[in-house]
């Protein structure tokens, strides 16, 4: 691990800002390997023993952001004596700073699979979870037979649940290439002949999709979370884990990854059709700002000029009475 300035390491621990960390160092409250620290001192966070007011900080306080493709049958909790395995069983020790305690950002029920974030950054996870930040969740789900028109209409209108009216932000049939790419990531492989859909949620109620589809008598056979905000499943196979990239961390905290248009979340997966299930696509005229090549608006003056050119008539003399008065001499 490369050396870093001491105040940056203290700030990364969440104890204080960089400026406040410099004040702690200047006040003699920080020690490195038993010696009083100095402002601007460079340390190796993985090796140095850093103490503030006698309490150690360092790697144990460093934030970590991991993305797991949770398999079906695994609980999202970090401790469950009744569960055969939890999500922490899939985290290599090399990805966890010494002493850090990871926890999932949100949950997937035991039968569901797909993307789940693990972190030790509580403030950041609050931004990802709270509805006011609008971080979308997108799912690929399979049912035994295709949805009927009436079923789609019920889903689009909303299904009453105990928490209120459950709505889907977007629903559409998955394309063959999307289905193929998703099935390659799943273990065990899905049963053949299922009808696959993409669903985007902005609500986050417990087992919402399973309850909603159960209400229309279309029980879900497989449910996979394929997107959280700007973060997509993109080749992450079942049971695999990776670090989140810095742009992904920033995007999630800022509510990024909204659906483009109504929803084109499958475009990057090779989807050519984003028509909602049970609906007919309609082309909408695209308003275009006037620029090069755009037609000029027609006015009475342009009509008169065009008529004059067509008939060969001379252009009428300009009305000089409408000219602005000459500017008076200064002085």
Domains in the chain: ranges and CATH: 4-61 (3.10.290.10), 65-269 (3.30.2350.10)
Q: What is the pLDDT of residue 300?
A: 53
Handedness of CA 302, 303, 306, 312 (dihedral sign): negative
On the 0-12 / 13-18 / 19+ scale of CB atoms within 10 A, 255 is: middle
On the 0-12 / 13-18 / 19+ scale of CB atoms within 10 A, 45 is: buried
Longest distance between any two alpha carbons in the chain, whole Å: 99
C-alpha–C-alpha distance, residues 29 and 321, integer Å: 83
Q: Taking the CA of residue 314 as centre, how many other CA atoms within 13 Å lie in the half-sphere pointing to its CB?
A: 3
Q: DSSP string covering 257-295, please?
A: -PPSTT--TTGGGT----PBTT------PPP----TTPP
Q: What is the pLDDT of residue 277?
A: 61
C-alpha–C-alpha distance, residues 77 and 110, integer Å: 10
Which residues on neighbouring strands pair with residue 195, listed in sequence order? 143
What's the pTM value of the predicted model, to 2 decimals? Answer: 0.64
Helix (H) or strand (E) holding 172: strand 170-173
User: What 3-state class would DSSP assign to 299?
Assistant: coil
Contact between residue 170 and residue 198 where contact means Cβ atoms under 8 Å apart: yes
Q: What is the pLDDT of residue 290?
A: 39
C-alpha–C-alpha distance, residues 7 and 250, integer Å: 22
Calculate the CA dihedral of residues 322, 325, 326, 327 and round it to 10 degrees.
-140
Contact between residue 194 and residue 173 where contact means Cβ atoms under 8 Å apart: no
Q: What is the pLDDT of residue 44?
A: 86
Angle at 71 between CA 185 and CA 112, to 5 degrees: 105
pLDDT, block means (10 residues), the chain with 331 residues: 84 82 93 90 84 69 87 87 84 82 91 96 88 92 98 97 96 98 97 97 94 98 97 97 91 75 40 44 36 45 53 50 42 38
Helical residues (DSSP H) of 188-277, grouped into ranges? 208-215, 246-253
Just list the catalytic residues. 109
Place of tokens 């960390």: 21
Structure tokens, 172: 């559409």
Q: What is the length of the chain? A: 331
Instruction: Give the CA distances from residue 53 to residues 26, 31, 33, 42, 318, in Å, rounded to whole numbers and listed in that order.
Output: 13, 8, 13, 19, 86
Which residues on neighbouring strands pair with residue 191, listed in sequence order? none
DSSP state of 191: P
Structure tokens, 24: 């702690």
Q: What is the pLDDT of residue 58?
A: 61
Q: What is the pLDDT of residue 151?
A: 98
Q: What is the pLDDT of residue 14?
A: 72
């Amino acid at each position: 691990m490369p050396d870093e300035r001491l105040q940056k390491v203290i700030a990364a621990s969440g104890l204080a800002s960089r400026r406040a960390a410099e004040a702690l160092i200047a006040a003699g409250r920080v020690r490195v390997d038993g010696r009083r620290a100095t402002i601007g001192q460079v340390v190796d966070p993985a090796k140095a023993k850093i103490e503030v007011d006698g309490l150690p900080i360092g790697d144990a306080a460093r934030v970590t952001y991991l993305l797991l493709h949770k398999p079906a049958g695994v609980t999202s909790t970090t401790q469950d004596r009744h569960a055969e395995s939890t999500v922490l069983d899939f985290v290599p020790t090399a990805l966890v700073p010494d002493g850090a305690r990871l926890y999932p950002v949100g949950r997937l029920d035991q039968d569901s699979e797909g993307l789940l974030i693990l972190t030790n950054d509580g403030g950041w996870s609050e931004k990802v979870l709270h509805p006011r930040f609008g971080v979308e969740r997108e799912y690929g789900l399979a049912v035994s037979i295709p949805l009927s028109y009436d079923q789609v209409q019920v889903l689009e209108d909303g299904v009453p649940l105990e928490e209120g009216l459950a709505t889907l932000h977007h629903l559409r049939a998955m394309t063959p290439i999307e289905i193929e790419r998703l099935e390659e990531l799943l273990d065990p492989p899905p049963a053949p002949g299922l009808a696959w859909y993409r669903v985007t949620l902005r609500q986050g109620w417990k087992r919402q999709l399973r309850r909603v589809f159960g209400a229309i008598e279309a029980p879900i056979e497989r449910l996979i979370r394929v997107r959280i905000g700007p973060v997509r499943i993109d080749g992450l196979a079942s049971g695999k884990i990776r670090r989140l990239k810095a742009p992904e961390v920033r995007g999630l905290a800022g509510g990024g990854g909204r659906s483009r248009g109504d929803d084109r979340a499958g475009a990057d997966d090779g989807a050519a059709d984003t028509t909602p299930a049970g609906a007919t696509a309609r082309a909408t005229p695209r308003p275009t700002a006037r620029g090069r090549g755009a037609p000029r608006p027609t006015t009475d003056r342009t009509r008169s000029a065009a008529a004059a050119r067509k008939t060969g008539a001379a252009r009428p003399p300009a009305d000089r009475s409408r000219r602005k008065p000459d500017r008076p001499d200064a002085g």
